[in-house]
Amino acid sequence: METMVLMAGMDLPVKAIREQVAGAIDVIIQQSRLRDGTRRITSITEVQGLEGDVIVLQDIFTFTQQGVDENGKIIGKLVPTGVRPKFYERMEYEGIHLPASIFSAKEE
């Protein structure tokens, strides 16, 4: 996003751009094409803010491959990292109720 702002010809300092990005975005959901050609959500990451000049990110869920089926399709699932996002309380306030256990890393 920083690069897009700079390419647009905006005459803003990089730190100001990063502050805007860190303040405006709560979550990044990344989708990737896997080697079998399917597209899967591979990570859900929280934007936690800015530390100095660096935007701090924290994975909440990551895709874990569990194998490949007989047709060559990748088998896997999103697995919680054990980190409860900082925006969890705001979700509750807005009426979005998720059990806190959804964020718990489970031993398998």
- Domain borders along the chain are 2-103
Q: What is the pLDDT of residues 33-71, one digit of tens each?
A: 999 999 999 999 999 999 988 999 999 999 999 999 999
Cβ proximity of 54 and 15 under 8 Å: no
CB neighbour class for 14 (10 Å; exposed up to 12, middle 13-18, buried from 19) = exposed
pLDDT at 30: 97
- Cα–Cα distance between 82 and 100 in angstroms, integer? 10
Average pLDDT, the chain: 90
**What tokens does 63 get?**
């895709």
Residue 105's pLDDT band (cuts 50, 70, 90) = confident
Residues 6 or more apart in contact with residue 27 via CB below 8 angstroms: 44, 45, 46, 47, 60, 85, 87
Report whether pLDDT(108) > 60: no
Query: Rounded to two decimals, what is the model's pTM?
Result: 0.83
